Structure 1
Amino acid sequence: MTAEVPGRLPDPVAEQDRITPFQVDTLDVRGRIVTLGPAVDAVIAGHGYPEPVSRVLGEAVALGVLLGTALKFDGRFILQTQTDGPVRMLVVDFETPDKIRACARFDAELVAAATDTRPAAMIGRGHLAMTIDQGPDMSRYQGVVELAGQGLEAAAHQYFAQSEQIPTFVRLAVAEEMTATADGTKRSWRAGGLMVQFMPADPERMARADLDPGDAPAGIEPGTVAEDDAWVEARTLAATVEDHELVDPALSSERLLWRLFNERGVRVFAPRPVTNFCRCSVETIRDMLNRFSLDDRQHMVEDGKITVTCEFCSSRYIVEPSEVGIPDASATD
């Protein structure tokens, strides 16, 4: 006797908060598509960010999930920007297998005065660091990419070309969804992303043109390498995806992948959930405070208490001075 293997039909509508792996064997590409609803909305709505900040943070969260879910071990993937734009810093913290949290720091006056509110303009110039943390007993791996006004999509392409040397295509999208309810219009954020990578059995097929030759002598032309036809086709098909398709709640990941690659045949694997979380707690706050000097802790006391707000989830913690080694709060400034 043979066991019947049930088939899985494409979901008619988009599921909330999930990452869906896929593979196109005939083109030697693999990839993932992420759909985020309540998870990214919780990150954004919990802080009340201005719209331009919300959009760029939504892109960062989608990229963080796309990259973080590639980890094959227990650990964390941390994406962080430090730049001179109105959005000074973005932090996305992905913990395997499915937990995400994120926050942004920005200059409110610069954001309000900005005439160009595209995510790339909000970020500005600086660098993007991507860190893989396998735990306290393992060394961290970090890749750094220069941000020169090109945005997160282009930065991801640059990272894979320089550090991983894997031909990669990334598309990110963010949208604010408005739904009519009995209590009025409900506004919520959605984000989506698509990543496609060329991974043939023969690594020679992944050869790409050299990076900028830098200080090469005048008259020296950089070498050229013809891209593999399969990768050119796969990238061209992936590039037809529209932003609205990545955030459309009426379009499932399976159906979108069918639109893109049905002529070549696409295998879609079981999706995995993505959840918004924060690891902050009273214990972690106390531990953090105890890393400061006693003098610093004493100067944190206001009205007889130490108040700490988590940057990721906006939770407020009130700590008694005696809980962090301050015996007499009345003696502090």
Structure 2
Amino acid sequence: MLGSKIAWDDTVLPFQLDASDIRGRVVRLDGVLDRILSQHDYPPEIEALVAEMALLTTMIGHSMKLRWKLSLQVRGDGPARLIATDYYAPEKDGEPGQIRAYASFDEERLVRGVNPFAQIGKGYFAILIDQGKGMTPYQGITPIAGGSLASCAETYFAQSEQLPTRFSTSFGKSRLSGSSESWRAGAVMLQKMPKASPFAAPQETDGTEGLLSASDILNEDDLEGWNRANIFLDTVEDMELIGPRVQLTELLVRLFHEDRPRVFDPRPIEFGCSCSEDKVRQSLSIYSARDIAHMTTDEGVVTADCQFCGAHYVLDPKTLGFEAEKDPDGDDD
């Protein structure tokens, strides 16, 4: 049982630690995460992976100069086959960013009561950036390692961007006074901004299995400030992260007052999905009439479901594919 809801829910607050040249994000998700997870009947192990990915995606997406979409994907050979999330940047200043997420898993192979991260097995963690029409998409990949999805993201930034990055996350179900049980989550992201090219020779890394760590990237002075901020972050408690009693500004002052935290305008986050009937039709436009016939149900229709938002589309097969007999509005070609 928690106290009453406060204004920081479904919010990202950017900040900077002036004394350490560290930027960061602190985020709280409640209604957004509850919307994502309530649409699916995921086992607890999968819910935990989706919740952590949603937090990471929100913070990373908001920290980038993004024109359209950031996607995070985890693919493994374990029971948790795929965790996929998308963050859509706001079109205008002050508008909310949007996030969606879903998971694909093999329920028969799930091991209940085991660390959710172990359900992924061997695989990779990928970040995909799509800046929109006319721009070349970017994709960065790092192996699954470190014991958590947050560790995978930290490894990506160290390896691909040479930016020491730290995430602290917490999530779970709670119940506000006078309301039903729902999901709440919170997290802090720290990222060191180097003054010069910090790349270190990979053969001299301190990281696990040859992966870069902060000590491989930073000089001695920068490493001292980075380590100090991480020690402060280690003291954060789960209830401070997920709220609602501790406000985000109070949390930053409590953790990092020695490094002079400076906050910027908070940004709202909401659930959003880009699926539409037109996009379903476009995806089916490459198929012949014979292919469409194989997709047609006994009721004489073609159906499609969005994995992210649960939208259900029912389409006339005669309006689909490059050999369509009718337009979607019913006119014969």
Shift of 1:207: 10
Determine if contact 1:121/1:149 at 8 Å carries over to the other structure.
Answer: no
2: CA distance between counterparts of 1:155 and 1:91? 14
Counterpart residue type for residue 109 of structure 1: E
Partner of 1:272: 267
- The equivalent residue for 1:93 is 86
Alignment RMSD, CA only?
2.9
Residues 133-172 of structure 1: matches in 2 within 5 Å?
133-148=130-145, 150-172=147-169
**Residue from 124, 129, 146 that aligns with 1:127:** 124
Q: 1:223 to 1:301 in 2, by over 3 A?
A: closer
From the superposition, tell whether residues 206 and 38 of structure 1 become closer, same or farther in structure 2 (CA, over 3 Å): farther
How far off is 1:13 after superposition? 4.0
Picking from 173, 186, 195, the partner of 2:189 is 195
Of stretches 311-320 and 202-211 in structure 1, the one that deviates more from structure 2 is: 202-211
Which amino acid is the alignment partner of residue 160 of structure 1? F
Distance 2:260 2:206 in 1: 36
Deviations 1:202-229 (A, max 9, x none): 555999994379999xxxxx99974621
CA distance in 2 between counterparts of 1:128 and 1:176 reads 26
Which deviations, in whole Å up to 9, do the C-alpha atoms of 1:45-73 show, x marking residues without a partner?
Answer: 01121222111100001001111112214
User: 1:77/1:210 Cα in 2 relative to 1: closer, same or farther (>3 Å)?
Assistant: farther
Aligned to 2:243: 248
**Cα pair distance change 1:57/1:107, threshold 3 Å:** same
- CA deviations over 1:263-301 (Å, ceiling 9, x no partner): 332111110011101111111111122233432211111
Q: 1:17 to 1:242 in 2, by over 3 A?
A: same
Task: Normalising by structure 2, report the TM-score.
Answer: 0.84
**One-letter code of the match for 1:86?**
P
Deviation at 1:116, TM superposition (A): 4.0
1:54 lines up with 2:51 in the alignment: no
Rounded Cα–Cα distance in structure 2 between residues aligned with 1:320 and 1:142: 36
Unaligned 5+ segments in structure 2 are 91-96, 211-215, 327-333
**TM-score, length-scaled by structure 1:** 0.84
- C-alpha distance in 2 between matches for 1:38 and 1:296: 40
**Distance in 2 (alpha carbons) for counterparts of 1:223 and 1:60:** 26
Q: Is the 8 A contact 1:120 1:150 kept in 2?
A: yes
**DSSP-derived class of the 2:25 partner:** strand
> CA 1:96–1:215 in structure 2 vs 1: closer, same or farther (change >3 Å)?
closer
Query: 4+ residue runs of structure 1 moved beyond 6 angstroms?
Result: 205-209, 212-216, 222-225
**1:250 CA displacement:** 1.8
> Which residues of 2 match residues 81-120 of structure 1 at below 5 A?
81-97=74-90, 98-111=97-110, 114-120=111-117
Matched letter for residue 108 of structure 2: E
How far apart in 2 are the matches of 1:102 and 1:95?
A: 12
Question: Structure 1 residues 200 and 147, CA, compared in 2 at 3 Å: closer, same or farther?
Answer: closer
Gaps of 5+ in 1: 1-11, 217-221, 328-333
Counterpart contact for 2:83–2:101, Cα < 8 Å? yes
Q: Within 2, Cα distance between the matches of 1:158 and 1:51? A: 26
Deviation, 1:118, is: 2.1
Of residues 303, 306, 309, the one that matches 2:305 is 309
Structure 1 residues 73, 81: closer, same or farther in 2, change over 3 A? Answer: closer
Contact 1:177 1:189 in 2 (8 A): yes
For each residue in 1:6-39, what CA deviation from the matched residue of structure 2 results, as whole angstroms up to 9, or x when unmatched?
xxxxxx9452211100011011111001111111
Per mean C-alpha deviation after superposition, the further-off stretch among 79-88 and 283-292 is: 283-292
Report the count of equivalent residues: 306
1:9 match:
none
- 1:309 Cα deviation (Å)? 0.9
Question: Which amino acid in 2 is paired with 1:85?
Answer: G
What whole-Å deviation, never above 9, does each CA across 1:163-193 have from its counterpart, x for those lacking one? Answer: 1111111112211113464xxx722112222
Q: Bigger CA drift: 245-254 or 19-28?
A: 245-254
Structure 1 equivalent of residue 24 of structure 2: 31
- 2:330 — aligned with what? none
1:254: how far off?
Answer: 1.0
